[in-house]
Structure 1
Amino acid sequence: MYLIFRCDCGRVLYAKKGVATRKCTCGKTIKVKSRRILQKVETAEDASYAVQKMQEEIYGSTSFRTADEVKNNKFFKQIDRKIKKL
């Protein structure tokens, strides 16, 4: 059994039932018992899939982009304009 919960930074995590703590990528060590459990699943694969789906709901698509798609990004267009002015 795997428990799915959120860190204070907003990231969704999972841990095996019975584990006392889990470390988030933000660096915080989380006590699993003190967290509100969002979902319970049976296998690690199901837990991984559930976390991915929750992250997509919160932050949008997590898929990779091609270099052409990144070039069309508004941020990169602003940088290109600033470089041309120099």
Structure 2
Amino acid sequence: MVRHSKIQKQVLNLYREFLRVAKARPGLSEYVRSEFKKQAAIPKTNTLQIEQAYRRGMRQLDMLKRQDVKSVGVFTKDNKE
């Protein structure tokens, strides 16, 4: 059995909660999965960056849980130069 650290457990719970909220909003599940996969590239030893990403995720989750939020927009960086 794999033992997870406290922050790993928190991130896994955050992911599950995002997926629960995403069920009610079409297209959000794919975005959630892709964002978590991108953030998985953060080295486990970089706790500061992990905690920052976790806090940002918590703020985004709180926003999504609000009843007055109807949809989600995503900003992307356009690399055409």
The structure whose Rg is larger is 1
Q: Which has the higher helix share?
A: 2
Taking CA–CA contacts closer than 8 Å with sequence separation of 6 or more, which of the two structures ends up with the larger relative contact order?
A: 2
Query: How does the TM-score come out when normalised to structure 1?
Result: 0.24
Query: How does the TM-score come out when normalised to structure 2?
Result: 0.25
Q: Which has the higher strand share?
A: 1
